[in-house]
Amino acid sequence: MADNQPPAPENSNQTEEEKYLKWEDYFMAVAVLSSKRSKDPKTQVGACIVNQDKRIVGTGYNGMPNGCPDDEMSWLHKDENEVDHKHLYVCHAEMNAIMNKNSADVKGCTMYVTLFPCNECAKIIIQAGLSKIVYLSKKENDTSERIAAERLLQRSGIAYRRLESKRTEIKISLTAKDYGAKQQSENPNVLAPGASQREEESDEVEAEDE
Ligand X SMILES: Nc1ccn([C@H]2C[C@H](O)[C@@H](COP(=O)(O)O)O2)c(=O)n1
With CB under 6 A as the contact rule, the residue among 28, 117, 133, 160 that binds ligand X is 117
Q: How far is the CB of 61 from ligand X (least distance, A)?
A: 7
Q: How far is the CB of 138 from ligand X (least distance, A)?
A: 9
Can you tell me the distance from the alpha carbon of 180 to that of 200, in angstroms, rounded to the nearest whole number?
A: 18
Which residues, 21 to 60, sit near ligand X by CB under 6 A? 40, 42-43, 45
Number of chain residues interacting with ligand X (CB under 6 A): 15
| Cβ atoms of 156 and 133 closer than 8 Å | no
Measured from the CB atom, the residue of 42 and 171 that comes closer to ligand X is 42
Measured from the CB atom, the residue of 115 and 191 that comes closer to ligand X is 115
Which residues belong to the active site? 94
Q: How far is the CB of 132 from ligand X (least distance, A)?
A: 16
In the chain the beta strands, taken as DSSP E runs, fall at 46-50, 56-61, 110-115, 132-137, 159-162
**Which residues partner with 113 through β-bridges?**
47, 135
Report the 10 Å Cβ neighbour count for 113: 30
Can you tell me the distance from the alpha carbon of 9 to that of 13, in angstroms, rounded to the nearest whole number?
A: 9
With CB under 6 A as the contact rule, the residue among 34, 59, 62, 110 that binds ligand X is 62
Per-residue binding string, ligand X, 140-159, x by CB under 6 A, is --------------------
Beta carbons within 8 Å of 86's beta carbon, 6+ residues apart: 40, 73, 74, 75, 76, 77
Which residues of this protein are in contact with ligand X, per CB under 6 A?
40, 42-43, 45, 62, 77, 86, 90, 92-94, 115, 117-118, 121
